[in-house]
Structure 1
């Protein structure tokens, strides 16, 4: 295992086999300048060498992520400030980070404390299990400043909540509470604020103790299945069974079943 790197705008920790990324600009409600997106992507690239088998993402302080930082210009072109600059920030910083997150081979838990707005909303919904505290809310704020959704929300939201509710969020720019998001099926669950981090860590630990290769394969098959036909997905499942069936974890699962004991998966 390599040393855990440090970053300017996020914290990266390893707790056993759970990686924890904490957005760390609490004075700005963890608003995300392009440099933070770059830090997140770099952290994701380090996870395999750190032995991570699950990832937990959360925010420091009162907010998860209040959106792109409209003022921070240290990257050479802030996230907002003209059509070309916005486009370039997305293509050069935010989109590569979100693609790296989507392509991870390990499950992702996201714990939402406070606001998840703009690209922060998109980022919040990009994991596999999103858990919100009671004080959390989700806001597609783009319409309020004359912009269009980004961060993949135009792809994510219709698949999570359907077109009418996606349009409600995008065109009306209304806050969706954690409870409402859970009722809609947009997130995994909503819990008391005091329980948020403990619940998220417990879930991430449970996933980290699972059959890692099988979980990563499930993640890919499910996401790919959203844009491909039934026959292609059937073939992907068959290939996935071939991959997972040849792992040490699959052999352990069968042996534990035969011996009527708890499985001890090693992620191999």
Structure 2
């Protein structure tokens, strides 16, 4: 896959999307949003069984590029609906786990891009900033839905109203992200984590992801139905047969993603 604002590569079943505008701290413009969405959607067809989004240089993503021509119309609703929504929905709907490997600052829409992913692994030096009120806006890019569900009402409101940096360690303590690791082992750590997922039962991972995301809006009875339907599909996979065989034979399962 060829891109202008991101880099994409696949190795050992891990697809890596690198936001590649380091001179702009990987700020999101129209082209980058479209390219992220396309890379996420096309990654499974290029052999990816797990996907990582990370940033080039010292930032993960500084949020919306305020010099982006798309803002010239003044119609922010159109930008959100036509450009942000497809990107965020692609991540949520991807049939494979998506890791945000947050290597540095994640601000504004960049912070919400990160927490939209299924798992967030951050370098200890990383910070998350709901920076929107600093420029007279309210949070968007899914942040008003995601953050209260992850950290609770009080912390979400404080983080959004005061727009103060939340350190990676704080983010772990709050339940915003999965883990924070020392900077010197960060790259090796997320790569190892991604390989674990890529070697796992890909269809079960996709079903798990779909079920958990559906649960955010379902009542208990509805969710039981979702579980039963998705588990029925998992029960027909080669990976389920391999998992049972490996358990009975007391060996490590060799999943194929089928």
After TM superposition, the score normalised by the length of structure 2 is 0.98
Matched, 1:45 2:41: yes
Matched, 1:35 2:25: no
Q: CA deviation at 1:6?
A: 1.2
**What's the counterpart of residue 119 of structure 1?**
109
Superposition RMSD in Å = 1.0
Where 2:161 maps in the other structure, the secondary structure is helix
Cα distance in 1, alignment partners of residues 152 and 73 from structure 2: 31
Where 1:190 maps in the other structure, the secondary structure is strand
Structure 1: 5+ residue runs without aligned partners? none
Matched, 1:129 2:125: no
**What's the counterpart of residue 194 of structure 2?**
204
Q: CA deviation at 1:51?
A: 1.6
Query: Quick check: 2:41–2:94 contact (8 Å CA) kept in 1?
Result: no
Which one of 156, 180, 185 corresponds to residue 166 of structure 1? 156
Which one of 218, 238, 242 corresponds to residue 228 of structure 1? 218
Where 1:68 maps in the other structure, the secondary structure is coil
Which one of 106, 117, 131 corresponds to residue 141 of structure 1? 131
Q: CA deviation at 1:45?
A: 2.0
Matched, 1:24 2:14: no
Query: Quick check: 1:70–1:81 contact (8 Å CA) kept in 2?
Result: no
Matched, 1:267 2:235: no
Q: CA deviation at 1:31?
A: 0.5
After TM superposition, the score normalised by the length of structure 1 is 0.94
Cα distance in 2, alignment partners of residues 190 and 12 from structure 1: 24
Would you identify which runs of 4 or more consecutive aligned residues in structure 1 move more than 4 Å?
none
Query: Quick check: 2:18–2:56 contact (8 Å CA) kept in 1?
Result: yes
Matched, 1:67 2:67: no
Q: 1:134 to 1:81 in 2, by over 3 A?
A: farther
Structure 2: 5+ residue runs without aligned partners? none
Matched, 1:152 2:142: yes
Where 1:125 maps in the other structure, the secondary structure is helix
Matched, 1:189 2:185: no
Query: Quick check: 1:57–1:110 contact (8 Å CA) kept in 2?
Result: yes
Q: CA deviation at 1:81?
A: 6.7
Q: CA deviation at 1:44?
A: 1.4
Matched, 1:100 2:90: yes
Q: CA deviation at 1:265?
A: 0.2
1:76-123 deviation per Cα after TM superposition (whole angstroms, max 9, x unaligned): x23x773x2x21111111111100110000001111111100100000
